[in-house]
Structure 1
């Protein structure tokens, strides 16, 4: 398999997410990091790109320069990752799709449901892949959990509880820290802060594992630090397409919590529990039986788990490896497109999933502003 030229927008020096994308994309030797517009400060972005090994002519000052430069090349990038602030995702993703590039966009996909629906149309018209980086779905045991639910190991799913709660924004004195402030700025993030930042990861995990969509929800949103315009804590009740009851908690003020992403699924004949901070174990409790620990990398797991497991049993699995599974599947799909074949994107979060999340964000904001009124998506 020939390598794919890959480009990154955002993710510059000091970025939280940039290193994870660079590690993930190059993990399997499937991509060449070929082009980048890594910083909103043009000269800083150019300099950092060259430090990372980009040719000077392909270390761009901004995304528009990169779009023009790569569009004019015969060896242009085949996949562009958008890892910029939320309010730029729509414009950049739309422009690159329309120019014939495949795109992996960081979440949230857009700022509004109207923009998200527009991107669905643009992606379909372009014939290119538009994926959204719900990278936690790349963990091997999350995929095994989905396979167990699909094959009926726990019976009909009655309830799912999911959470993403951390304490890293709990200090009110951090209000003017630019790395924190932008996350609660409506101009930068839209109508929701904590739910749009972390809560939608938890919600998407619920939809991915159960293979159901969220149909309606009720939200209680609060600003535990009163100076914040947008919420830093939310509790969301939701109902899914096959009748499953959902509960979700997300917070950035949960002191003592670190990453705090986890999911529990309760069925008629069994229950499952997984947390991202201990990703090597999936806890399975059959009705009337004892709790079992399923280890990543052990024999007898699902094909989805086997092909997503990269290190031998007992060794730590990390976030870049989970992201790497998304990149690997995108590489296979891009090669299929080039060969005129229909790509297999069954486990890749696509633009439609991203649009569902944007609808959920809007619904949470409406419900939260109306004392928890139930809202249809």
Structure 2
């Protein structure tokens, strides 16, 4: 039974990182409060005290729950009667391990941005720490929170597509097509091997694409061959990657991720083809799923439609025809996390159908990046992920 077993009301949440100038911190805060499951009460929003306090004041955090040091935050919050029950980690990748360590060892649940860590060695260390802790570990691969991604997963699992033969996934952007301005914090750390890790586009968006394949199809990769490239002069990490995949059972796949594809904004696309049918989903039009039986007409499945499965409809908030998107999908991950945390309070089983990306998914993602780098260094040789 958790030391938080007697608590009621919103889950008291802390945040590390996500201060002024950080996009993803604001996204996490919106997602956490959308369903009133969490209340942000403490934070170490920056590594510098001045910026940490200014960032906290801007979002209304009290001064006595504002920290410039995440280790101090973990120690003090663990002692407080009304201390945090969970922490959201929204720092650059290289900080995920040291920050998570401080909270996990004190039994505080961790909600961590992806990828899990910058290196495979750190990912394995973090997995061991999480295994020893009583705390839950949730990884925010937020695209798994879209209702129609859950619908695709359910239809594949019940055999609507037959035996899976082919998978194609792509995630294309253009925001790093040129050398960014020096004051662009988001670009600075994502293109820095010391903070981002071994992968550039592969780590930042390739892990999302890879996770989407794993989540929807359940296919287990056995080998991959990757061609990683940096198109922008002076860039040391990849900004484009073409990856061929082989899966258990004989299915084949292709993954393309790019941050230099001119004209592309956030074009995450999944296509899965089986012996009976194929399906296609576009993140930029997330309320439609296209399913085409072999030799038949394409069915356009809309979010919350009567034909959708219970698992898909469970994650919808508005009636059909009212668009839901990125923030709602992100909030669905927080909603699943809340159910896991509440169940952990009393040792109860998770409610049926609740699913979220775990630390095991995180290790797989970092292993994918590591394998891509190894393969590319060997002129796109086949390697085991």
The residue that corresponds to 2:312 in the other structure is: 305
How big is each residue's C-alpha offset from its partner over 1:185-209, in whole Å with a ceiling of 9 and x where there is no partner? 1111121111001111001000000
Paired residue secondary structure (1:128): coil
- Map Cα deviations across residues 164-215 of structure 1 (whole Å, 9 max, x no partner): 1111111236477443232121111121111001111001000000012222
Residues in 2 aligned to 1:372 and 1:346: alpha-carbon distance in whole angstroms: 38
Q: Which residue of 1 aligns with 2:289?
A: 282
Match status 1:88 vs 2:91:
no
* Aligned equivalents of 1:308, 1:179: Cα separation in 2: 30
| Secondary structure, counterpart of 1:278 in structure 2 | coil
Residue equivalent to 1:355:
363
Match of 2:171, SS state, is strand
Q: Give the one of 133, 137, 143 matched to 1:136.
A: 143
Of 351, 371, 379 in structure 2, the residue corresponding to residue 371 of structure 1 is 379
Q: Find 1:61's aligned residue among 38, 53, 68.
A: 68
Match of 1:181 in 2: 188
Matched with 2:108 is 101
Aligned to 2:273: 266
Retained in 1: the 8 A contact 2:336–2:354?
no
Which range moved further: 270-279 or 236-245? 236-245
Q: Offset of 1:223 from its aligned partner?
A: 0.9
Q: Is the 8 A contact 2:162 2:277 kept in 1?
A: yes
TM-score (norm 2): 0.94
Contact 2:301-2:307 within 8 A present in 1 as well: no
2:33 aligns to what?
A: 26
State the alpha-carbon separation in 2 of the partners of residues 376 and 299 from structure 1.
42
The counterpart of 1:47, out of the listed 47, 54, 57, is: 54
Q: Is the CA contact 2:180–2:187 (under 8 Å) kept in the aligned structure 1?
A: no
Q: State the match for 2:177 in structure 1.
A: 170
Mapped to 2, the partners of 1:41 and 1:318 lie a distance apart of 34
CA distance in 1, matches of 2:192, 2:128: 29
Aligned-residue offset at 1:30:
1.0
Q: How many aligned residue pairs are there?
A: 377
Tell me if the contact between 2:13 and 2:87 (Cα under 8 Å) persists in the aligned partners: yes
Q: Deviations over 1:88-107 (max 9, x none)?
A: 01111122111111101111
Q: Kindly state the Cα deviation for residue 18 of structure 1 after the two structures are TM-superposed.
A: 1.1
What SS class does the counterpart of residue 36 from structure 2 fall into?
coil
User: In structure 2, what is the equivalent of residue 223 of structure 1?
Assistant: 230
CA contact (8 A) 1:134 1:204 kept: yes
SS at match of 2:199: coil
Cα RMSD for the two superposed structures: 1.5
**What do residues 53-105 of structure 1 show as CA deviations (whole Å, max 9, x unaligned)?**
21211111121221122111122111111000111011111221111111011
Question: Is this contact kept in 2: 1:23–1:320, CA < 8 A?
Answer: yes
* Structure 2 CA distance for aligned equivalents of residues 262 and 322 of structure 1: 16
1:208 maps onto 2:215 in alignment? yes
> Residue by residue, what CA displacement relative to the aligned partner does 1:237-288 show, whole Å, maximum 9, x if unpaired?
1122333211000111101001011101111110110011000000010111
Question: 1:2–1:178: structure 2 CA closer, same or farther, 3 Å change rule?
Answer: closer
Match 1:340 to one of 318, 338, 347:
347
Gaps of 5+ in 1: none
Matching residue of 1:191:
198
For 1:291-345, what per-residue CA distance to the aligned partner results, in whole angstroms no more than 9, with x for missing partners? 1100001113111101111222112212111111111111111111111213358
The answer for unaligned runs of 5 or more in structure 2 is 1-7
Q: Which moved more, 1:177-186 or 1:249-258?
A: 177-186
Cα 1:16–1:284 change in 2 (3 A) is same
The answer (yes or no) to whether the contact 2:14–2:87 under 8 Å persists in 1 is yes
